[in-house]
Structure 1
Amino acid sequence: MNFGLAVNVSVEIRNRTQPIHSLSNDLEGYFKNRSYGLAIKSYTIGITCVSPQFDQFYKKETKPKYTKGIKVINTDGIPFTLEDNFEYSIKIDYESFKNANEQEAKKMLAKSILESLIVFEKMKSKIKDFDYLSFKADLENYFLQHHLI
């Protein structure tokens, strides 16, 4: 399964996104050869962390979206293919993230990601063939192994 974190941050902290990219790369490798059923081939969590002046433009979390089958998205002239994709976004506290060191930032992300898994409950009636409990257990295990929870 493909797993990734998409980054959307304020310009003031663009140079502080290394913990998000690092965690995303590690999780991508961790989940690469794992399968939890045929329904979800790609699981994406958007990470939004914006300064207070832009807060009003971003909800705490976005509604989960499931794309069944293949869909090609053409963003800025660059085609991107999604297949059996589950996605949503979560918001990280700006000041806490801005002031955190790399390990603290990863812990904050781990906690928020685990808390965000509740959104799957809203979609599980549409997504029949996905072993959510095994997926959640593997994600928790990854975070435990890396001392993030």
Structure 2
Amino acid sequence: MKLALAQYISAEIKKETRFLIDFSDNMEKSFIKKIYGNDLMEIVIGIICVSPIFEQFFKPKPPKYTKEKKHIKSEGFEYEIEKCLEYSIKLDFETFRNSSEIEAKKYLSEEILKSLEIIEAMKSKIKDFDLINFKKDLENYFKEKDLI
């Protein structure tokens, strides 16, 4: 299972959000060898945390599931996706900005766990996926890191 975070962050909090790259990389390393079924092999969660003046430009998009292999060219990058779910969550800018790094990590962890209901809502498209064990493993991962 490939599990990754994509960032959409305001410049004002770039310094406070530097940890997000390592946070995403460590999460991905922990899940890369796990398999939860045949219909979902990759989850990309967009993390939106922008100041109020930019909110109108960064709205969470509806979840997008790509079952068949698809070649993507975007912003100078080329990659392939298959059995991939992409969705985004919006974090409260002020909460994030006024949090310490550990508080921000805890807030992010809780929001990621809450967002898993999106997978449940897509079970008509994503039939072969063990959401119960995935969620349990993700909760255990966050507990090991003292984030929940």
TM-score class normalised by the smaller sequence: over 0.9
Report the AA paired with residue 62 of structure 2: K
SS in 2 for 1:7: strand
TM-score (norm 2): 0.94
CA RMSD of aligned residues (A): 1.2
Superposed, 1:67-146 pairs within 5 Å as: 67-146=66-145
User: 1:8, 1:48 within 8 Å by CA — same for their partners in 2?
Assistant: yes
SS in 1 for 2:83: strand
Report the AA paired with residue 111 of structure 1: E
How far apart are 1:18 and its partner, in Å?
2.0
Equivalent position of 2:7 in the other structure: 7
Identity %: 48
Equivalent position of 1:31 in the other structure: 31
Equivalent position of 1:43 in the other structure: 43
Q: Say yes or no: does 1:63 pair with 2:65.
A: no
TM-score (norm 1): 0.94
User: 1:47, 1:89 within 8 Å by CA — same for their partners in 2?
Assistant: yes
Stretches of structure 1 that go unaligned for 5 or more consecutive residues are none
User: 1:3, 1:42 within 8 Å by CA — same for their partners in 2?
Assistant: yes
Equivalent position of 1:147 in the other structure: 146
User: 1:39, 1:84 within 8 Å by CA — same for their partners in 2?
Assistant: yes
- Structure-2 separation of matches of 1:62 and 1:143: 26
How far apart are 1:64 and its partner, in Å?
1.1
SS in 2 for 1:69: coil
- Structure-1 separation of matches of 2:56 and 2:76: 29
How far apart are 1:23 and its partner, in Å?
1.4
Stretches of structure 2 that go unaligned for 5 or more consecutive residues are none
